[in-house]
């Protein structure tokens, strides 16, 4: 597993406002969207491309275009939905799949309750979207799910991560360089309720309200 922590003053500024408990949901959603676009720039640094010939107004030249098959963006429901537009803004030609997973608050294990993905992900670059990498169980389950469908190149884009969760993911995927995690920050720890500290609270509730 490879970890990339975005080190940029704009990321740090937006993340600070995002953490503030007084930041209202509309502003929170806007900031998540902006942050994900910044993170997507780093997450797509190794996106597959191929040469492409074009005619400019002056001459013919060879440029670059995204290679086939198209990348697949997979938000983990429900909080991952708040990250989708920011990601597809940078990758408008990507396909979008959905994976419904939630954490059992008693066992802290991930439960899959919905799946809208292609049956075969062979050769596809996949980008998982989940705001919080806390215990790591949900992300490991999602990565395993994609690999079971044939994916071999998975990048997880998260706003925050806890050291405990990163270790769980690293232990699960080992030294596979085809798994990458891109985050805005790695926080201090998890508390007794498995929330990231200092964190930003429940990302889904702050995006969409308490259900």
Residues in the chain with pLDDT values less than 70 = 103-109, 210-211
175 is in an annotated binding site: no
Residue 122 CA neighbour count, 13 Å, CB half: 1
Q: Is 119 annotated in the active site?
A: no
Cβ neighbours of residue 55 under 8 Å, at least 6 residues apart?
A: none
pLDDT of residue 103: 66
Q: What is the pLDDT of residue 198?
A: 96
Residue 211 is predicted with a pLDDT of: 60
In a domain, 37, yes or no: yes
Confirm whether residue 138 is marked as ligand binding: yes
Q: Is residue 53 part of a domain?
A: no
CATH number of the CATH domain containing 138: 3.40.50.2020
In a domain, 57, yes or no: no
205 is catalytic: yes
Does residue 198 fall inside a structural domain? yes
- Whether the Cβ atoms of residue 187 and residue 199 lie closer than 8 Å to each other: yes
In a domain, 124, yes or no: yes
Task: Output the pLDDT for position 189.
Answer: 96
pLDDT score for 107: 66
Domain span at residue 149 reads 2-47+68-208
Residue 74 falls within a domain, yes or no? yes
Structurally, the chain folds into a number of domains equal to 1
Tell me what pLDDT residue 105 has: 65
Q: Which pair of tokens denotes residue 158?
A: 């998260």
Position 177 scores a pLDDT of 72
Question: Which is catalytic among the residues 62, 93, 106, 107?
Answer: 107
201 is in an annotated binding site: yes
Asked whether residue 135 is domain-assigned, the answer is: yes
The yes-or-no answer on residue 120 being catalytic is: no
Q: Is 20 annotated as a binding residue?
A: no
Residue 55 within a domain:
no
> Any idea which residue has 């884009």 for tokens?
157
Among 103, 112, 176, 178, the active-site one is 103
Q: What is the pLDDT of residues 92-116, one digit of tens each?
A: 999 999 998 776 666 656 777 778 8
Counting every residue written for the chain, the total comes to 211
Active site includes 103? yes
158 close to 65: Cβ distance less than 8 angstroms: no
111 annotated ligand-binding residue: no
Q: Which residues contact 97 (CB under 8 A, 6 or more apart)?
A: 72, 73, 74, 116, 117, 118
């Amino acid at each position: 597993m490879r970890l990339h922590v975005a080190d940029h003053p704009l990321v740090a500024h937006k993340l600070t406002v995002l953490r503030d408990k007084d930041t209202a949901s509309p502003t929170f959603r806007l900031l998540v969207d902006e942050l994900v676009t910044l993170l997507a720039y780093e997450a797509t640094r190794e996106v597959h491309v191929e040469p492409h010939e074009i005619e400019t107004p002056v001459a013919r030249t060879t440029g670059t275009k995204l290679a086939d098959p198209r990348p697949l963006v997979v938000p983990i429901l429900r909080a991952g939905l708040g990250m989708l537009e920011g990601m597809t803004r940078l990758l408008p030609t990507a396909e979008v799949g959905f994976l419904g997973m939630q954490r059992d608050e008693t066992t802290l294990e991930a439960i899959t309750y919905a799946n809208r993905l292609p049956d075969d992900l062979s050769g596809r670059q996949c980008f998982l979207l989940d705001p919080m990498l806390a215990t790591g169980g949900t992300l490991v389950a999602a990565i395993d799910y994609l690999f079971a469908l044939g994916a071999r190149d998975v990048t997880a884009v998260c706003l925050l991560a806890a050291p405990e969760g990163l270790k769980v993911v690293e232990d699960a995927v080992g030294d596979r360089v085809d798994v990458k995690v891109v985050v805005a920050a790695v926080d201090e720890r998890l508390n007794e309720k498995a929330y990231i500290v200092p964190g930003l609270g429940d990302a889904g509730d702050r995006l969409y309200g308490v259900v």
